[in-house]
Chain A
């Protein structure tokens, strides 16, 4: 607790890096996952059902396997090795994007599909095409989508397996809260591990509180989905 209260520089550098990596990963996952999820919700094409099953399956993809695949892509002999991203925060962001995008896409698909069903006749009556309905649906589902992003952030910030493989847990470079907890616990430095654990739990509670607040607002404004 003293480490947290005294503003220990090393501890807060780790916390800030964790937040930076996860926030960037969630933003990129949102840019990819939301349009993909919305398109799957409103478009009708052969193989759509298979894509939805695949996306749902990817939500439960083991993080260490994601880490391994991203490692193979970024390693010197891999297709993206020339970029020299392995053991950098960027590599960790990439791994987290791979983990979080299916979550954002799947939840977006679910939310948008329900809303599209409700809006379908009305939007067609107003002359809104299927394609033009996507931004309308995304905007009207905004509060539910914020919840989806928070869920994605929850997964990203708590992730350890993938980021330790592609980040390497290098001190002052790629060491984030979860990887530090794993390392410091094995070294017997329980004070730092516990302090980071407390912050991680605090973040989890804050994220859940935000989800709750967003849901409450949705309820009050009649924005909740049927």
Chain B
């Protein structure tokens, strides 16, 4: 368990990362260092390459050029095992709520008794008490995303990537999820989250990576990026202009 750890997580470093599809560079990041405690929010319009960057950081996509490094070495399976990811559309197993959590706990080799206790505490953490035996696929959108986050947290990750987890949710459901994210962050889980919601970035971010057209156009402390953006693209995006 990483509870109560508030130290800085290990550093993630992106070096000359390039993802090309059909001859077009969808992602072109020469240098990005994520070594703060976060939460880091990756902000930008659709097609900016935010989700692609997240998948590269998590090792789900192999870049055509460049690499992601953790603690100075290229991303390994051991590093990936210390990461978890929550997708925009939660992909839940066709099992009960509890069985979705049990799936990852069992893979970690936890004995039955310990798994049961952990499932109870996770369900309480996500406000899903009483839904343990319910089929996961019958949960509402907000509940399903909360379960997906709990399942990711059950892996006890050092870094949690979230790809627009609240984009399809109403304000109440969004608020519950943001609280879960902040609680995880305060326990020492490094949060790296994609959003296009400026308000969400204001509420959650310690630092912000601003992207446009596959490039990182700005990276800095949230206050600095939000209040005094340096790049034209960031200024226009934050001013509510249409940035493509």
Contacts and interface: CB of A to CB of B under 8 A. Distances in A.
B59 to A, nearest CB: 8
A125 B135 CA distance: 22
Interface string A203-222: 00000000000000000111
B135 A118 contact: no
Contact of B91 (A121, A139, A222): A121
Interface string B56-69: 00101000000000
B81 A223 contact: no
A223 B95 CA distance: 8
A105 B218 CA distance: 52
B60 A125 contact: yes
Nearest to B104: A126
B94 A223 contact: yes
Contacts of B77: 127
Interface in A130-157: 136, 139-141
Contact of A221 (B58, B60, B135): B135
Contacts of B136: 222
Interface string B21-63: 0000000000000000000000000000000000100101000
A125 B58 contact: yes
Contacts of A61: none
Given A121-B87, A222-B138, A223-B135, A127 B93 contact: no
Contacts of A221: 94, 135, 137-138
A194 B223 CA distance: 84
B80 interface: yes
Interface SS of A by simple majority: helix
Contacts of B104: 126
Interface residues of A, number: 17
Contacts of B94: 140-141, 221-223
A48 interface: no
B155 interface: yes
Interface residues of B, number: 22
B107 A127 contact: yes
B205 interface: no
B91 A118 contact: yes
Contacts of A119: 91, 93
Contacts of B55: 121
B85 interface: yes
Nearest to B135: A221
A124 interface: yes
Interface string B76-91: 0100110011010001
Contact of A136 (B93, B151, B155): B93
Contacts of A223: 94, 135, 137
Contacts of A220: 138
Given A140-B93, A222-B138, 13 more contacts: A121-B55, A121-B60, A121-B91, A124-B60, A125-B60, A125-B84, A126-B104, A136-B93, A141-B94, A220-B138, A222-B135, A222-B137, A223-B94
A-B pairs with the 5 shortest C-beta distances? A222-B137, A122-B91, A221-B135, A140-B94, A125-B85
25 contacts: A121-B60, A121-B91, A122-B91, A124-B60, A125-B60, A125-B84, A125-B85, A126-B104, A126-B107, A126-B151, A126-B155, A127-B77, A127-B80, A127-B107, A128-B107, A136-B93, A139-B95, A140-B93, A140-B95, A141-B94, A221-B94, A221-B137, A221-B138, A222-B135, A223-B137
Interface of B: 55, 58, 60, 77, 80-81, 84-85, 87, 91, 93-95, 103-104, 107, 135-138, 151, 155
Interface of A: 118-119, 121-122, 124-128, 136, 139-141, 220-223
